Amino acid sequence: MLPDATRALLEFIDASPTPFHAVTEAARRLEQAGFTRLREEDAWTLTPGARRYVTRNGSTLIAFVVGAGAPADHGFRLAGAHTDSPNLRLKPQPEHVREGYRQLGVEVYGGVLLHTWFDRDLSLAGRVVVAGEAEPRLLNLRRTVARIPNIAIHLNREVNEKGFVVNKQTQLPPVLGLEPPAVEGQKPSTAWLRELLAAELGVAAGAIEGFDLMFHDAVPSTASGLAGELIHAPRLDNLGSSHAALEALSAAAATACPATRAIALYDNEEVGSESAEGAASPFLAAVLERINLACGGGREDLHRALARSHFVSADMAHAVHPHHADRHEPQHMPRLNAGPVIKINTNLRYATNAATQTYFERLCREADVPFQRFVNRTDLPCGTTIGPITAARLGIPTVDVGNPMLSMHSIREMAGSQDHPLMIRALTAHFCLV
């Protein structure tokens, strides 16, 4: 049976085809839980128990509940995740025609498993800048508009033996349709993308000034397995952790706590986090400083608060694969529906150390949540997260965790349906521990 929390996760994912939509949907859910929006350019007045959130670039969100006590005395309880996922994003002038096919030029964003994007129903979403409007508009076509067609095996006989090799420049542009037959005395349109966007937004094509648009899988998320024990969805990495953090903070907000609790849902993790809205930016540090100032604290108090704080970096983890178990460290093989995974790397690709590992394990035991441990094979390179970036930026003890999954960075990913409620319980314990 699919848990309610997992069903809510799938709805969140389907409502969030881009980081811009994820932040908008997160804000909507936070407002339902009693949070109100702050703006960075305004002066902040905060009181104990206040529930607030602030966004940057429309793609990163920080939400917090002001603690009952001074930050210097009780610190911050923090959790972080990211809103972006690997995908294909439009170039500024993407329209072109090849052999009569209308196509859109794309760039690869992040570490995409490229072969999984072929022969899929693709839709388009993101944001569009419209002339004369102060804020970009969100756009989600909500229907299949494109496809990247494979070449028949009759024309590529060795593909199954030699592997699927993709030229990103020439073989990735999706096909949107066919170029209409030429009409004598009439030039073919070269602005059909803007015409499509304009029709969707109800504006003139000439009013489209710019866009941040990306393709995504048009097929809705679903549950599977003989007993509903699996889920298939795009963007589980890392909307799964983002939703868990949202649910945990919303649940914990009703519980009085002397410490200020906050979540940071960052954009741009998949490309290194070095942006104005990424984990390497001063965004979270500035928010914590402003909370401390609003609570009457000074610079010394902020340093004391950070020294008393804990950060949980939540990003999805690698479950053992039935066909590739040899790619895992034998003593550290996470399994689906067996609880959150604590991720450890001696070279600090993950921020976990013995003290922060023990902290999270204690949270899990108090919340009656099983947990697992992951260490990469010594002879394989290890990925990384926002954890080491945050630890270095703020000097806060940090643990890297995540729910186990398969098909990471595929256009559609796979996870256990029972793990999501467990992560929510663990993060809620992190926010409620006194």
Domains of the chain in start order, with CATH, are 4-85+234-432 (3.40.630.10), 87-217 (2.30.250.10)
Average pLDDT over residues 57-78: 97
pLDDT at 182: 77
pLDDT band at 353 (very low <50, low <70, confident <90, very high): very high
Under 8 Å between Cβ of 287 and 64? yes
Cis check: omega of the bond before 156, within 30 degrees of 0: no
Beta strand 317-318 with 404-406: parallel, antiparallel or unpaired?
Answer: parallel
User: Is 58 in a helix, a strand, or coil?
Assistant: coil
Beta strand 260-266 with 76-82: parallel, antiparallel or unpaired?
Answer: parallel
pLDDT at 185: 67
Q: How many CB atoms lie within 10 A of CB 377?
A: 13
Tell me how far apart the alpha carbons of residues 236 and 239 are, in angstroms, rounded to a whole number.
5
Digit-coded pLDDT (tens) for 181-219 = 877 666 666 788 999 999 999 999 999 999 999 999 999
- Cα 305 off chain centre by: 28
Tell me how far apart the alpha carbons of residues 162 and 404 are, in angstroms, rounded to a whole number.
30
Mean predicted lDDT score pLDDT of the chain: 96
Structure tokens at 210: 């710019």
pLDDT at 434: 55
Digit-coded pLDDT (tens) for 388-420 = 999 999 999 999 999 999 999 999 999 999 999
Structure tokens at 67: 């603690």
Residue 313 has pLDDT above 80, yes or no: yes
CA geometry: angle 72, 393, 292, nearest 5 deg: 25
Structure tokens at 141: 């076509």
pLDDT at 299: 96
User: Is 293 in a helix, a strand, or coil?
Assistant: helix
Q: Give percent of the chain above pLDDT 70.
A: 98
Average pLDDT over residues 365-389: 96
Structure tokens at 216: 């995504």
Digit-coded pLDDT (tens) for 231-285 = 999 999 999 999 999 999 999 999 989 999 999 999 999 999 999 999 999 999 9
DSSP letter, residue 146? B
Tell me how far apart the alpha carbons of residues 249 and 397 are, in angstroms, rounded to a whole number.
19
Classify residue 325 by burial, with Cβ atoms within 10 Å: 0-12, 13-18, 19+: exposed
Residue 123 has pLDDT above 60, yes or no: yes
pLDDT at 3: 95
pLDDT band at 39 (very low <50, low <70, confident <90, very high): very high
Average pLDDT over residues 128-132: 96
Tell me how far apart the alpha carbons of residues 308 and 329 are, in angstroms, rounded to a whole number.
34
Average pLDDT over residues 119-141: 97
**Prediction pTM value:** 0.96
Tell me how far apart the alpha carbons of residues 356 and 432 are, in angstroms, rounded to a whole number.
17
Digit-coded pLDDT (tens) for 95-115 = 999 999 999 999 999 999 999
Q: Give percent of the chain above pLDDT 90.
A: 95
Tell me how far apart the alpha carbons of residues 21 and 87 are, in angstroms, rounded to a whole number.
15
Q: Which residues pair with 208 in a beta bridge?
A: 130
pLDDT at 188: 65
pLDDT band at 423 (very low <50, low <70, confident <90, very high): very high
Distances (CA, A) of 360 to 11, 224, 270, 394: 28, 30, 25, 19
pLDDT at 272: 96
Tell me how far apart the alpha carbons of residues 310 and 168 are, in angstroms, rounded to a whole number.
41
pLDDT at 147: 98
Distances (CA, A) of 364 to 247, 361, 369: 17, 5, 5
Average pLDDT over residues 29-34: 98
The upper half-sphere exposure of residue 185, i.e. CA atoms within 13 Å in the direction of its Cβ, equals 0
